[in-house]
Structure 1
């Protein structure tokens, strides 16, 4: 796992300043504390920070082929690289290292841009071909690894694993994109391919970008893969269970290749427990497992993690985090470079911090909920869809729309009585309704939050447009498949993968996600939705498949999630910080907000009239971002080096 950066002159061959290239590359030294490498030639600069995981002795980057005509900087892992080496050798390619990085170089020589079709793994890379005068960028299919880029005012092109690489360049203009602000206060993150700054972009997952010297326009990213939900696999339940176990086993096996200490996160949930059970079956040695517990029992899953650890006799490490562990606000702002509102970033940061004391690589269970229908919102959406399909829109819209307006907001009530959001969703079409359920702040709430001037600057834009664009490419009419597809393109990339990448790399820890293997994802997309949600039970086939390997308490208990007690924090120890942040001069001067709404949110939350913890946390994190954005770009301190990690 590493960090990459670079500059490219698309029009000429200007010389880039070595000190500047080194500076922007070192902004992400936390991603690779073991080594750094630079390559400069007229019109090109490549930078790399290395976290050594495979081929510790000879895997340095930038890495070039035999005649130095093709070079690469690469972040990630290619899990099938050992299978590609013999094929490439038979084609006449010579290898000088044992690294997966060199496989990409020779794959480019053999297959050109189509090389990405042959790669199985998580990756973001930039490849320079001197003979063709081209720079080729690519990002993995599921968006596990990040890649940001921008066109600078002088016409040069800059890229980096993290946005802080780009903002550190003195030529970059930090002009906030109002459309990104709208997306953030709806979704809790800025959706790909947009960045918080107008000038910057994220390369979307499963896309490439090919730049050629002398080009006269800025090229658009090109897709090379997508998931297609056929839902037509005729397999019966028993055979599906057996094949699913084997496919998970293969995916886990590929991710056990490492020359450094390796372990797994064990939350006590279904997905991480299944990964650990599979690892135990593949290893003759005890699996190293790490878990975080909370001193508040309402948020503590550690007892379930311990059950799995005891069952498989893992070398298990547990650390208890205090329920008032909220001192990471400013740290998170520096890590994420953009406003990011998922409060589970706090425990994710802590579990990565804890794991890095013992291992360099950790397997996780991320991606299972999206592929297997594990979220409660999926079942709720299907219930709404059954009504939408039977009641004409002309009747639904006025009936449920009126109920949505009249029904009171009831955050304090049991979930079954919180019908306002459901009534609102019932008046909408499928995509609008799912966007509504995924929005932290609904459209009416955002309208009250934003100032009239800022709303005019949006020109009618809504984050719903993101969902509609993706839905137009989904190629499915299955209601579950559609929202799974939307989650792949939005939530999984913008929230889950972003959260885990930044939290893990802050501690120089590589996290691998076997449940996001694209071969597994493709196969799961062929299964009927009835095998994913059955009788209201999410992950039906997955839980049935792992019944022989995991306790029923782990498989069938209510989903808890990796959350923190925001509401009580904001009424207690975080109350002062909340007021200082939400009503800071930065926020008031930004012009984005209706000041009276800001004051009302604080007062109503403190008086326990409503639970406004979600929007207040979003505002706190937005203020932290503004503070960070107004200061010179700073590197995240490197937390640990590879030598410091020892096996559990």
Structure 2
């Protein structure tokens, strides 16, 4: 696990090397064990490849980067892990290649040397890397199938700049970064972020998950990012529910085996819910004798606490439990560091719980953790996506079954028939009708605390775009939604939170649910294998984990999610927060007076608490730190 940076400058200047060194400092936490960079003249331009290393596999100096292929035709800077590197290494040795190290980076280089882009579907792992082709004078930038590892890029003065984090982009650029008003509006008004290639910085982009982009140095031209991975979504009709559960069990256990490969201590983040519990229990199943350290956030004395369930799993597998309890004082103490670490605004203070879990893992000497991210987006978790499932049934003409599903679905804790009907209506309406329904619910596209005229003058499109779905499968609307959640919204911001929080403390966070093999299998199943006719989420996975995870965990109906008591944490510091919000950002985007009135109403309980309050805090502190 590492950090990467670099780019192409059409003309070298005396400050370039200094900017590269400064940029490496900004990502040193991503790789504290080693760093390196090279500045090379290519066709009259300057190519920079920089790297910071967190040693996980092959701890020797043989893993230093930039690394060259044996024939010296390719060099690479690589962030991530290739879990099946041993199998690929054996395959390449059989083809006549020799290896000098046991690093997965050398395997990646050799695989690219032999198969070039055709090597990408063979990789099981998480990665972002830049490969320089010395013969063609081209750099190829690649991001893994799910976007587990970050990759930012921008263009300046005809050149190209890339990095693992935006602060490194800022350090490499000559000019300053400016606010992306469209992205800021989407976040402030609708809580929308990390749903497309735009960042909060104008002209700075994410390389989308599963995409590749090339930059031809001689021509100074960048290609349009193109997908190297597109999931296959054809429905399978050849598997009974039991057969599907059996196959899922084997695929999941195989993924756990691969994700346990490491030359440093491995632990697990344990919330107490099904996904993280399944990861921990599967670790014990495939490695009966390995020591397991778990790390859990505990909301002590709160209805949100999952401590009881985490304890059950720790006792079941014989794990060494490590717990962290968060106070409002600690949140305020660490707030600016967490915002700095994340690099862009984010959704809620639940991210702080994760931040502290990784901090605890680092203090206990664990360098790698396995986490449960991605399961909800593959297995129809959360509330079970009732609107999408009802729409699928209606499109198939199963009207009675659709109504029956909605009625049974609504009987589960935390759900209601009104919610289910609203979700279905939201799926069956769009455009102005959907905006009207949102208005009836009290939600406006331009809240009073935003300046509508300033937004119009800036050319901001003021509407909610979160419903956009890039996959359209008639009668398979749930699968369409899950696919979109994997690559466009939902999962992307969760992966961002996990990457930045873990790397802040030089922890490698691995996500064994997210392999193309596992994902494509799940997305090929009939929808009622994922969400049962009775409304049970993760239906087939619960069946697959029988005998590995305790039944009482598999049969839970009360999962509350990874949350902190956000309202109490923030309201406890209302006077200090109000001073922050009273500051003049000199931005024009926000109607400060209206915002403060709204804030006072929330604090005095005249208005109910909403997530708007956190978004104001986050945006104000972030803007002053990164842009203002």
Relative to the length of structure 2, the TM-score reads 0.89
Equivalent position of 2:557 in the other structure: 557
Please give the alpha-carbon distance, in whole angstroms, between the structure 2 residues aligned to 1:286 and 1:342: 33
Report the CA distance between 1:545 and its aligned residue.
1.8
Please give the alpha-carbon distance, in whole angstroms, between the structure 2 residues aligned to 1:434 and 1:349: 36
Report the CA distance between 1:306 and its aligned residue.
1.0
Please give the alpha-carbon distance, in whole angstroms, between the structure 1 residues aligned to 2:207 and 2:471: 18
Please give the alpha-carbon distance, in whole angstroms, between the structure 1 residues aligned to 2:378 and 2:500: 23
Equivalent position of 1:510 in the other structure: 508
Equivalent position of 2:346 in the other structure: 340
Equivalent position of 2:116 in the other structure: 112
The number of aligned residues is 601
Larger deviation, residues 221-230 vs 451-460: 451-460
SS of aligned partner of 2:78: strand
Equivalent position of 1:241 in the other structure: 245
Q: Please, which of 69, 72, 79 is the counterpart of residue 75 of structure 1?
A: 79
Please give the alpha-carbon distance, in whole angstroms, between the structure 2 residues aligned to 1:321 and 1:570: 13
Please give the alpha-carbon distance, in whole angstroms, between the structure 1 residues aligned to 2:335 and 2:437: 26
Structure 2, unmatched stretches of 5+, are 400-413
Equivalent position of 1:351 in the other structure: 357
Q: Residue by residue, what CA displacement relative to the aligned partner does 1:217-275 show, whole Å, maximum 9, x if unpaired? A: 43211101122332334311221221111111000000111000111111111011111
Q: Structure 1 residues 310 and 137 mapped into 2: Cα distance closer, same or farther (>3 Å)?
A: same
Aligned ranges 1:91-490 → 2 under 5 Å: 91-152=95-156, 154-185=157-188, 186-215=190-219, 217-283=221-287, 284-322=289-327, 325-327=330-332, 328-358=334-364, 359-376=366-383, 378-379=385-386, 381-383=388-390, 416=416, 426=425, 429=428, 444-457=444-457, 459=459, 461=461, 464-465=464-465, 467-468=467-468, 471-475=469-473, 477-490=475-488
Please give the alpha-carbon distance, in whole angstroms, between the structure 2 residues aligned to 1:577 and 1:387: 52
Is the contact made by 2:386 and 2:423 (CA closer than 8 Å) also made in structure 1? Answer: no
Q: Structure 1 residues 423 and 548 mapped into 2: Cα distance closer, same or farther (>3 Å)?
A: closer
How big is the alpha-carbon RMSD for the aligned residues of Structure 1 and Structure 2? 2.9
Report the CA distance between 1:389 and its aligned residue.
9.3
Please give the alpha-carbon distance, in whole angstroms, between the structure 2 residues aligned to 1:39 and 1:33: 18
Report the CA distance between 1:165 and its aligned residue.
0.5
Q: Residue by residue, what CA displacement relative to the aligned partner does 1:260-298 show, whole Å, maximum 9, x if unpaired? A: 011111111101111111110111223222222122331
Aligned ranges 1:628-643 → 2 under 5 Å: 628-630=625-627
Report the CA distance between 1:117 and its aligned residue.
2.1
Structure 1, unmatched stretches of 5+, are 393-413, 632-648
Is the contact made by 1:7 and 1:44 (CA closer than 8 Å) also made in structure 2? Answer: yes
SS of aligned partner of 2:359: helix
Q: Residue by residue, what CA displacement relative to the aligned partner does 1:135-190 show, whole Å, maximum 9, x if unpaired? A: 111000011000001111x2221110011110123513311111111232223424
Report the CA distance between 1:525 and its aligned residue.
0.7
Is the contact made by 1:12 and 1:213 (CA closer than 8 Å) also made in structure 2? Answer: no
Please give the alpha-carbon distance, in whole angstroms, between the structure 1 residues aligned to 2:588 and 2:421: 32
Q: Structure 1 residues 334 and 390 mapped into 2: Cα distance closer, same or farther (>3 Å)?
A: same
Q: Residue by residue, what CA displacement relative to the aligned partner does 1:417-476 show, whole Å, maximum 9, x if unpaired? A: 986x9659726646779999999x9861544342122331464625655653xx244455
Is the contact made by 1:187 and 1:438 (CA closer than 8 Å) also made in structure 2? Answer: no
Q: Structure 1 residues 531 and 602 mapped into 2: Cα distance closer, same or farther (>3 Å)?
A: same
Is the contact made by 2:384 and 2:536 (CA closer than 8 Å) also made in structure 1? Answer: no
Equivalent position of 1:614 in the other structure: 611
Please give the alpha-carbon distance, in whole angstroms, between the structure 2 residues aligned to 1:181 and 1:77: 33
Determine which structure has greater relative contact order: mean sequence separation of CA pairs < 8 Å that are 6+ residues apart, divided by chain length. Answer: 1
Equivalent position of 1:24 in the other structure: 23
Is the contact made by 1:150 and 1:157 (CA closer than 8 Å) also made in structure 2? Answer: yes
Q: Structure 1 residues 216 and 504 mapped into 2: Cα distance closer, same or farther (>3 Å)?
A: closer
Larger deviation, residues 275-284 vs 113-122: 113-122
Relative to the length of structure 1, the TM-score reads 0.86
